[in-house]
Every structure is written in C-alpha cells, then in structure tokens.
Homo-oligomer: A and B are copies of this chain.
Amino acid sequence: MPDYKAPVRDISFVINEVLESEKLYQTLPGYEDATEDLLNAIVEEGAKFAENELAPLNQVGDEQGCTWSEEGVKTPEGFAEAYRQYVDNGWPALAASPQDGGQGMPNMLAMCITEMVGSANWSWGMYPGLSHGAVNTLEAHGSPEQKEKYLTRLVSGEWTGTMCLTESHCGTDLALLRTKAEPQADGSYAVTGQKIFISAGEHDMTDNIVHIVLARLPDAPEGTAGISLFIVPKVNVNDDGSLGERNAVHCASIEEKMGIHGNATCVLNFDGAQGFLIGPPNKGLNCMFTFMNTARIGTAMQGLAHMEQSFQGALAYAKERLAMRSLTGPKNPDGPADPIIVHPDVRRMLLTQKALAEGSRAFLYFLAQQGDVVSHGSEEDAKAADDMMALLTPIGKAFVTELGFEAANHGVQVFGGHGFIREWGMEQIVRDSRISMLYEGTTGIQAMDLIGRKVLGSGGKMLMAFAEIIDEFCAANSDEEDARFVGAVKAAKDEWLGLSMEIGKAAMENPDEAGAAAVDYLMYSGYVTLAYFWARMAVVARKKIAAADGDTSFYQSKLMTAEFYFERLLPRTETLKKTMLSGADNLMQMPEELFAI
C-alpha cells in the first residue's frame, strides 16, 4: 500500500502564495481570523490526522468492506474509532457557522482537509463528507427548531447526514421520482418509497443519521416542480433532544460495487417513516440547487485526491524498481539495472500525475475560495463569485474527476504487472476513482450544464467574466520571462471564446449541436482553465526564484512542471477543438436499429 504524506508545502504554496488567502479573508467579515499562520497550522494538524489515522485504514477498508445485517451496517475495522477521534478533534465543525456551533473557518480550508482526508482514505472521508449536503440544506432552509434539533448535532459530528435523491429508475432525471410524503395530523409526513445509492446511508459510527429525502406531496404537480424536501431521522428525536423511537427507515441492503468498499452504498426503504418538511412545498429542487456547487466541488476533490495518492505511490516505486538501462547509458552502474524513473515514458506518466494534481489543487482551492466570497463577501463580490462558481464548478467536477481516473491508471501502469495486484494498493485507486465520474452528475450531465445552462444560458456573460480575469492576469504579467506561459494562456482563452460562439450559433439552429459538442467542450475548457492556474503558479515561482527567496528547488520543480503542462497536456485541446466542431450529424444520423446488425 502506498504511504501517504500530505503535500503541505504545496497546499501552503497554493493557498498563501498563489491565492493570497490572508489578504482576501481580511476583507471578508467573519473570516478575519484566517491568517496565513492559522491556515498553515490547521493544515498541518489535518495532515497528521490523515497520515496517521486514516491512511492506515485505506486498504483495510477495501478488503473488509462493509457488512450488512438486520441490525444495520458494520463499517470496516477502525473506521468508527477514527470517526470518534475526528469528532473529538472538532473537524466536522471547522467551516460551519458559529451560530450553529461551527468554528467559522473558510470553506477553502475545509477543502484542504477534504483533500488530505480523501487522499488518505476516500471511503472513510465520505462518512463525514456526506453530512455537508444535510448541513447546507438545514442552514439555508431549516426552521429555527429544525436547526436546533438537527443542525447543531450534524455540525458537531455527533450525527451524520445523507441526501436521498436517487431511485432505481431515476438518478439524473429526478422528474421521474416516486417517493411519497403523506401529511399527518401532527404536522409531520409519512414518507414511503425506496431510495438507492445512498452513500453512508447506514453505519455504526453515530447514534443517529439525518436523512434529507426528496419526495412528492399527494397533490404535487408532475415532474421536478412537484418535489419537496423532508428530514427523516433514522431515530426519532424527542423535543428535549434525546433519542426516541426507531423511525421506519431501514437499510434493505448494501451494493456490491467496483470500489469505495469501505463506504456503505445503501438501499433505504422508507415505510411510512416520520418526516418533516424543509422549506416550502414543491420547491425541493430549487432549495437544493443553492448548494449544488459546493457538493460538486467536494466531488471534484476526489479527482485531486486520487491524483495525489496515485502519484505518491508511483513515484516511490519508480525510484526503487530496477529495470533496463537508461537509453543514454547506465545511471546506476553499480546496480544490476537502473531505477525506472530514468526512462522517459515513466517520467511522462509521473509528470502527468504531478501536473494534474498541482494544477487541480490551485483550481479547486480557487473555486472553494469563491464560495467563501459568495457567503461572506459584499453583495457585488458575492454575485460575481457566484457566477464564477456556476461556470467553473461543472468543469471542476467533470474535468478533474476524469483526469483523476487517468492519473490513477498511470499509477498502475508505472507498476507494470504489479499494478494489477491488490497488495500494492494501486489498482484500488483506479477502482475507487471510477465512481467520481458518475455520482453527483455524470461527466455528460456536467457538460450539458456547462454549455447549456452556464455558457449559452448566460448569453456568454459568465464566460466573458472569467475571460476578463484571465486578461487582467495576462496584462499584469507581461514580463518577457513569463511570456511562454502567459502568451499561451491568452491564446487559449481567445480560442475558447471563439469556439463557444461557434457552438452557440450551431446550437441555436439545432440543439443537438450543443449536446454533440458538450463533453469535448467541457474537457477543452478544463485544459484552458488549468493552463490559467499553471501560468499563475509559474509566475509566482519565477518571481520567487528571481528574488532568491529561498526554497529554490520547490519553485524550480514548479516551473518545470508548468513547462510540462504547457507542452504535453495543454495540446490536448487540439483534438478537442476538431471533434467538438465536427457537428452532430456523425452522432445523430444513425438510426437506432443500425447500431448493431
């Protein structure tokens, strides 16, 4: 199993040197305490917890998986104990609002913890991670009583939460949802139906689980306009806050799946379970959309986590494993062969992982920072940040998870045949990462969201706003030494705008043109976005080297990785450009019955 060492130096570089967090948080009322020193100190603490408590449980979780019985779900050895420590250390409350018992730290900092927890053990991280949806729902739409009763215990981590959306016949298309909620005399609702794919839907870590359930009222309109949100606690809660009777919600089974075996993916049966309406009736989906971006950035983090985890494993192996001689003559002449890190193709895979991990880190922490501006900034800043998140979140979610899977596969490939063997832990990363392109909206769904709702839906405005920020960056960094990066970003941005226009035009005549271009367009957008963040990092690194600011090796590594990104990864846009412009005909012309004959 690969060791995990949290990349605290790189996290600090991103949040402090590139994103200048302290400067930002000084301007956001409520976040003034988030100084560079405090951010670094908390990251260091999180690193220790992830490395020492969670990483050692990662392979155990995969091997043992969860076990179901009538009494409930047993999580793998050590998972529940680690959760208790996590709660004792106060981690669940880190970024929650002080009025609900939280510590009021920026969401960006919580994302740093999510990265490290997730890189160490993604399956474990999903138990506290899934609470965020419930927390966000209750924060935004819960009544004061509901907050008091449920939210504070979710914030403290005493209980965990879930989001119960999917039914067996509908995941993406929630219009087809069937679960019912019948009003009861006491003002509560009897919730009946079956939900599937409920991550962390049942476990032995806490005394209670707060399910947020999407269901239909008896008189609800059809489709998505008839969905309401309900709190359905696993165990009913008395008015004094003590636990009452077991509610009529039970885990019928857990799924056998490709990976994330340490996390229980549950079928939940609601048999007239007592539920409580949150927010206005029939407005459930609207309520959820308000924090969809946050949830999706959380999933994007999974891509980053697997990039980092897989890179670390592959790098260690590449330095140790001896095979063949370097093409330019022995580099380890006293040994029987050279370490495989001397071979260009092994380096290509390692540098791909490294460039993707470091680029995605800057991208996603920037996004999380935007979320902090949305919640704590001035109205104007919040609006701009909200638009930025709306545009970049589908890119973050789909692009970073797709490349997380790619990086995980490079990790296996570096190990050769050993990569396919369980004990090395590299194939687990591939299996764990595969879900990230599926849940929280598949890559295809994110792509339609990006091109349809965000880019074309805003009449290009959201994209133009980001383009302006890129332009400002380019204008502010016109030094000759940075030109190779800055110039490439500027050109890529111009091309991105042009392609968006072109597809927009085609889509006006035929909506299938948007669908036919969508995924290629999203991936293209991702490479341009990452180029922007790589250029920002490269400029910082170059200036630090010039200023002889110490830590030169770190900054040199950064510059070389930037070069790799621009020369080896950004050119992927060349193909995407061609395919996204190839039109819908090559996809749509084939009648269904001609697919197989």
Which residues of A approach B to under 8 Å, CB–CB?
A: 7, 9-10, 166, 169-173, 175-176, 197, 255-259, 311-312, 315, 319, 322-324, 326-328, 336-337, 341, 343-348, 350-351, 354, 405, 409, 412-413, 416-417, 419-423, 427, 430-431, 434-435, 437-439, 442-444, 447-448, 510-512, 514-516, 518-519, 553-554, 556-557, 560-561, 563-564, 567-568, 571-575, 577-579, 582-584, 586-590, 592-597
Looking across the interface, which residue of chain B has its beta carbon closest to that of A551? B597
Contact B172 A328 (CB under 8 A): no
Q: Report 14 cross-chain contacts, Cβ distance below 8 Å, ordered by A residue.
A: A173-B323, A175-B336, A256-B421, A258-B431, A315-B595, A341-B592, A345-B519, A351-B590, A417-B439, A419-B438, A420-B435, A571-B575, A574-B575, A575-B575
How far is B590's CA from A172's CA once the two chains are assembled, in angstroms? 44
How far is B174's CA from A337's CA once the two chains are assembled, in angstroms? 11
How far is B423's CA from A416's CA once the two chains are assembled, in angstroms? 29
How near does chain B come to A461, taking the closest CB pair, in angstroms?
22
Choose among B347, B422, B437 the residue that contacts A256 (Cβ–Cβ < 8 A): B422
How far is B322's CA from A588's CA once the two chains are assembled, in angstroms? 18
Q: If A256-B421, A354-B595, A515-B343 touch, does A571 touch B582 (CB 8 Å cutoff)? A: yes
Q: If A348-B519, A354-B595, A444-B413 touch, does A337 touch B175 (CB 8 Å cutoff)? A: yes
Contact B571 A170 (CB under 8 A): no
Chain B residues near A584: list those with CB within 8 A. Answer: 344
Interface-centre pick from A351, A434, A519 (highest chain B CB count, 10 A): A434
Choose among B328, B416, B430, B579 the residue that contacts A512 (Cβ–Cβ < 8 A): B328
Q: If A343-B515, A422-B258, A511-B328 touch, does A567 touch B588 (CB 8 Å cutoff)? A: no
Contact B586 A563 (CB under 8 A): yes
Contact B438 A417 (CB under 8 A): yes
Choose among B170, B519, B560 the residue that contacts A590 (Cβ–Cβ < 8 A): B560
Contact A594 B560 (CB under 8 A): yes
How far is B579's CA from A564's CA once the two chains are assembled, in angstroms? 10
Chain B residues near A171: list those with CB within 8 A. Answer: 323, 416-417
Chain B residues near A412: list those with CB within 8 A. Answer: 434, 438
Chain B residues near A583: list those with CB within 8 A. Answer: 567
Contacts A170-B323, A327-B514, A564-B586 aside, 7 further interface pairs with beta carbons under 8 A come to A257-B420, A257-B427, A341-B592, A343-B444, A351-B587, A554-B597, A560-B589
8 residue pairs, one from A and one from B, having the closest CB atoms: A344-B515, A327-B511, A258-B427, A571-B578, A557-B594, A574-B574, A173-B323, A344-B516
Looking across the interface, which residue of chain B has its beta carbon closest to that of A196? B417
Looking across the interface, which residue of chain B has its beta carbon closest to that of A438? B417
Chain B residues near A170: list those with CB within 8 A. Answer: 323
How near does chain B come to A166, taking the closest CB pair, in angstroms?
7
Q: If A169-B322, A586-B563, A597-B557 touch, does A417 touch B328 (CB 8 Å cutoff)? A: no
Chain B residues near A579: list those with CB within 8 A. Answer: 567-568, 571
Chain B residues near A172: list those with CB within 8 A. Answer: 323-324, 416
How far is B434's CA from A430's CA once the two chains are assembled, in angstroms? 10
Interface-centre pick from A258, A319, A439, A560 (highest chain B CB count, 10 A): A258
Choose among B197, B258, B345 the residue that contacts A515 (Cβ–Cβ < 8 A): B345
Choose among B327, B561, B582, B592 the residue that contacts A319 (Cβ–Cβ < 8 A): B592
How far is B564's CA from A286's CA once the two chains are assembled, in angstroms? 39
How far is B552's CA from A593's CA once the two chains are assembled, in angstroms? 13
Contact B344 A518 (CB under 8 A): yes
Q: If A172-B323, A258-B430, A413-B444 touch, does A587 touch B341 (CB 8 Å cutoff)? A: no
How far is B183's CA from A509's CA once the two chains are assembled, in angstroms? 80
Looking across the interface, which residue of chain B has its beta carbon closest to that of A319? B592
Chain B residues near A561: list those with CB within 8 A. Answer: 590
How far is B430's CA from A290's CA once the two chains are assembled, in angstroms? 35
Choose among B556, B568, B588 the residue that contacts A344 (Cβ–Cβ < 8 A): B588
Interface-centre pick from A259, A343, A586 (highest chain B CB count, 10 A): A586
Interface-centre pick from A324, A560, A595 (highest chain B CB count, 10 A): A595
How far is B71's CA from A16's CA once the two chains are assembled, in angstroms? 62
Looking across the interface, which residue of chain B has its beta carbon closest to that of A514? B327
How near does chain B come to A541, taking the closest CB pair, in angstroms?
12
Chain B residues near A574: list those with CB within 8 A. Answer: 574-575, 577-578
Q: If A176-B337, A420-B257, A597-B557 touch, does A564 touch B592 (CB 8 Å cutoff)? A: no
How near does chain B come to A528, taking the closest CB pair, in angstroms?
14
How far is B589's CA from A503's CA once the two chains are assembled, in angstroms? 40
How far is B173's CA from A573's CA once the two chains are assembled, in angstroms? 36
How near does chain B come to A340, taking the closest CB pair, in angstroms?
9
Q: If A413-B437, A434-B412 touch, does A582 touch B557 (CB 8 Å cutoff)? A: no
Contact B567 A582 (CB under 8 A): yes
Interface-centre pick from A255, A337, A344 (highest chain B CB count, 10 A): A344
Interface-centre pick from A354, A422, A511, A574 (highest chain B CB count, 10 A): A574
How far is B579's CA from A185's CA once the two chains are assembled, in angstroms? 68
Contact A417 B593 (CB under 8 A): no
Q: If A169-B322, A337-B176, A564-B587 touch, does A596 touch B312 (CB 8 Å cutoff)? A: yes
How far is B70's CA from A584's CA once the two chains are assembled, in angstroms? 60
Contact A413 B438 (CB under 8 A): yes
How far is B171's CA from A337's CA once the two chains are assembled, in angstroms? 13
Looking across the interface, which residue of chain B has its beta carbon closest to that of A592? B341
